[in-house]
Every structure is written in C-alpha cells, then in structure tokens.
Amino acid sequence: MSLFTSLEKEVVLVTGGFQGIGRQVVSTFQSEKAIVIAADLAYQNSELKQENDQEYQIHLDVSDEASVQNLAQQLKIENLTPNILINVAGISTMDYLIESKTADFDKTLAVNTRGTYLVTKYIVQLMVIAKRPGKVVLIASQAGKNGYRAMSAYVASKHAVLGLTKTLAIEVAHDQINVNAVCPGIIETSMKHRERKDGAKIRGLTPDAIEQEDNSQVPLGRTGTPQDVANVVLFLASPLADYMTGQGINVTGGMTMN
C-alpha cells in the first residue's frame, strides 16, 4: 500500500513536464493516481488537451506572462485549479562570467527566475481564491547554495528561486499552502549531458573527464536520476510534509550538505 494514497484525484500542475525531471515527476504522480497537467514549451496546443484520465497537456512558455496567464485561465475554465504546483521548467547556459554573453544571462534568468515567479504568482493566486490548501514545490538546485565555474547565470537564477521559496512560504502560510524547494545535484538528464560537452570545451577537457569528475564529487558514489528527484518532490507534496515550509531540500548524494 502506498504512503501517498491520499493523492488520488489531487490536481497537480507540472511545468517542464515534457522530458527529464519534469516528465519523471508527471509519471510519479500519475502512479499515485493524481490528475496531472503537464505544461511545456514543447506542446503546441494553447488550450488544455486531455491525453487520458490522468493527464492534460498544454503549451507553456514560462518566461512569457501572456502564456502563463493563458494557462491560469484555461485551468479556471476547466475547473482544474491545482492544489499541488511543481515548477520544474529550467535551462542552463555555460561560460566564464567575464566572457559570457549578456543575452545568455538574460535568457537563463528569464526562464529560471522570472518563469518560476510568473507561474507561481498566477497559479497560487488561483489556489488562494479557490481557498484550496495545497503544496508548492520549486525546483532549485545545489547551484542555489554554491558557486560553480562557468555557470554564473544558472547559479544566480537558482539562488533567486530559493529566495522566492522562503518569501512565498511566509506569505501564504495562513492559506495553508506549504512552499518548499528541491535542490538537485548532478542528475543524469539531456541537459546535464549537454552541459558536460559545453563544459569540456570551455575547460579544455573531454566530456568523459567531466563525467568522472562529477562522480568523484558525490559521497554516495554515483550521480542522480530523475526518479531520485521525483521521489523527494512527491514527499514534499504529500501529507507527510505538512509541517515543512520554506525549506530547500538537497538531493545530491551528499555532494551538498548545507
């Protein structure tokens, strides 16, 4: 018997739900019988499309306020106000700060910080108006707690996500909405594989050397999987985490412990 049977028929919105960590979060909540709305730039439909009894899909550009407003309006029309919001959508760019392109910095913050702000703002508004207690989980990163070479934009954006987490947790506590963040470490996704190639070029190494370096930094001896992250997201969205808010939970294999 699942510990999370109370999530049956709960309405869960997952941004970045098309691939990687986001897709694993969608699948994990579906396995707990929740109704999941997967919102992602990869989907073409601007109106909610029902894929099956447990999943809806919709196009979403988290950095575009009109797109986020459309999502909120669609949820309201279809009577699908979430009581669980999982903000996963994110990107990364790589270069040493003094050599980086301002456009790359702006793009990274537009998606990771502004996008998290916009989605959280409009969806939590719906939750509050509907008087729906619930859970908000923002995907930050161990890069929200540390500095990493050639990743100044990403590091800055994820530090900001942790700031949003702490602030919103205080502001909506009286609405019985818990707000927490998950801080993944090195997770094997297509974005991480691309980062190894980009990092190798910047540092004059090979992607294999970067991968070996990654593994050597993790006390548990391996990098993480999307399921490792989804498991902690599920916990934070469940009744087991009812007395937790404003936290940034590391999922790093021990690589980050603060």
Catalytic residue among 43, 117, 122, 154: 154
Structure confidence by residue, pLDDT tens digits, 26-77? 999 999 999 999 999 999 999 999 999 999 999 999 999 999 999 999 999 9
Q: Is residue 49 part of a domain?
A: yes
| Torsion angles phi and psi, residue 50, rounded to 5 | -85, 120
CATH of the domain at 89: 3.40.50.720
**pLDDT value at 15 more than 70:** yes
Tell me whether residue 56 is one of the annotated catalytic residues.
no
Name the DSSP letter for residue 134. E
Residue 210 is assigned to a structural domain of this protein: no
Confidence band, pLDDT 50/70/90 cuts, at residue 1: very low
State the DSSP code for 4: T
Task: Determine whether 20 is exposed, middle or buried from the number of CB atoms within 10 Å of its CB (0-12, 13-18, 19+).
Answer: buried
Is residue 209 domain-resident? Answer: no
pLDDT confidence band for 5 (50 / 70 / 90):
low
Strand positions, DSSP E, 125-214: 134-139, 177-184
pLDDT of residue 6: 75
- Residue 138's SS3 state is strand
Q: Tell me what the mean pLDDT of segment 154-177 comes to.
A: 98
pTM for the whole thing? 0.96
Query: How many separate domains does the chain show?
Result: 1
State the distance between the two ends of the chain, measured CA to CA, in whole angstroms. 33
227-230 LR contacts (CB < 8 Å, sep 24+): 227/24, 227/28, 228/184, 228/187, 229/21, 229/24, 229/25, 229/139, 229/182, 229/184, 229/187, 230/21, 230/24, 230/25, 230/27, 230/28
pLDDT at position 254 is 98
Residue 110 lies in a domain: yes
State which residues form the domain around 48.
5-188+225-250
